[in-house]
Amino acid sequence: MSVVELHKGLDNIIVKETVLSYVDGERGRLYYVGYPIEELVEKSTYEEVCFLLLHRRLPKKEELASFDRELKKEREIPKEVIDALNLMPRNAHPMDLLKAGIALLALYDPELNVHEKEANIRKSIRLISKTATLTAYISRYIRGLDYVQPSKEMSHAANFLHMVTGEEIDELSAKVMDVAFILHAEHELPASSMAALTAASTLSDLYSAILAGVAALKGPLHGGANEKALEMILEIGSPERAEQYVIDALRAKKRVMGFGHRVYKSYDPRARIFRKYLEKLSEVKGNKTLLMIADEVEKVMTREMKGKGIFPNIDFYSGSVFTLLGIPKEIFTPFFATARVVGWAAHVLEYWEDNRLIRPRARYSGPLDLQYPSVENR
Among 46, 49, 37, 67, residue whose Cα is nearest residue 157: 46
| Sole binder of ligand SDX in the list 196, 214, 236, 257 (CB under 6 A) | 257
Integer Cα distance of 163 and 238 in angstroms: 31
| Sole binder of ligand SDX in the list 54, 246, 310, 348 (CB under 6 A) | 310
Among the residue ranges 13-21, 49-57, 79-87, 253-261, the one whose residues contact ligand SDX (CB under 6 A)? 253-261
CB atoms within 10 A of CB 46: 26
Which of 263, 342 has the CB closer to ligand SDX? 263
CB atoms within 10 A of CB 113: 12
CB of 65 to ligand SDX, least distance (A): 29
| Sole binder of ligand SDX in the list 126, 261, 275, 347 (CB under 6 A) | 261
Backbone angles phi, psi at 259, to 5 degrees: -125, 150
| Sole binder of ligand SDX in the list 256, 291, 327, 342 (CB under 6 A) | 256
CB of 303 to ligand SDX, least distance (A): 13
Among residues 68, 205, 268, 315, the one annotated as catalytic is 315
- Give CA separation, 346 vs 210, 214, 269, 308, in Å: 11, 15, 22, 33
Among the residue ranges 90-98, 125-133, 286-294, 311-319, the one whose residues contact ligand SDX (CB under 6 A)? 311-319
Backbone angles phi, psi at 23, to 5 degrees: -105, 105
Which of 164, 314 has the CB closer to ligand SDX? 314
Which of 53, 257 has the CB closer to ligand SDX? 257
Integer Cα distance of 161 and 148 in angstroms: 10
Based on the shown chain and the rule CB under 6 A, indicate whether residue 75 belongs to the binding site for ligand SDX.
no
Exposed / middle / buried, residue 242 (Cβ in 10 Å: 0-12, 13-18, 19+): buried
Helix 314-325 / helix 269-285 crossing angle, nearest 10 deg: 20
Exposed / middle / buried, residue 154 (Cβ in 10 Å: 0-12, 13-18, 19+): middle
Q: Is 11 noted as a catalytic residue in this protein?
A: no
Among the residue ranges 69-77, 80-88, 261-269, 370-378, the one whose residues contact ligand SDX (CB under 6 A)? 261-269
Integer Cα distance of 32 and 18 in angstroms: 11
Based on the shown chain and the rule CB under 6 A, indicate whether residue 46 belongs to the binding site for ligand SDX.
no
CB of 278 to ligand SDX, least distance (A): 17
- Answer for the pair 298, 242: CB distance below 8 angstroms, yes or no: no
Binding residues for ligand SDX, rule CB under 6 A, total 20
Among the residue ranges 26-34, 103-111, 129-137, 309-317, the one whose residues contact ligand SDX (CB under 6 A)? 309-317
Which of 140, 187 has the CB closer to ligand SDX? 187
CB of 62 to ligand SDX, least distance (A): 32
Q: Is 261 noted as a catalytic residue in this protein?
A: yes
Based on the shown chain and the rule CB under 6 A, indicate whether residue 346 belongs to the binding site for ligand SDX.
no
Among the residue ranges 125-133, 160-168, 285-293, 310-318, the one whose residues contact ligand SDX (CB under 6 A)? 310-318
CB of 49 to ligand SDX, least distance (A): 14
CA angle 283, 335, 126 (to 5 degrees): 130
Among residues 187, 222, 261, 347, the one annotated as catalytic is 261
Q: What is the largest CA-CA distance in the chain?
A: 77
DSSP 156-215: HHHHHHHHHH-S---HHHHHHHHHHHHHHS--SS-HHHHHHHHHHTTT--HHHHHHHHHH
Integer Cα distance of 334 and 214 in angstroms: 8
| Sole binder of ligand SDX in the list 59, 101, 190, 269 (CB under 6 A) | 190
Of residues 199-238, those binding ligand SDX (CB under 6 A): 221-223, 225
- Annotated catalytic residues are 261, 315
The residue ranges that bind ligand SDX (CB under 6 A) are: 187, 190, 221-223, 225, 255-263, 308, 310, 313-315
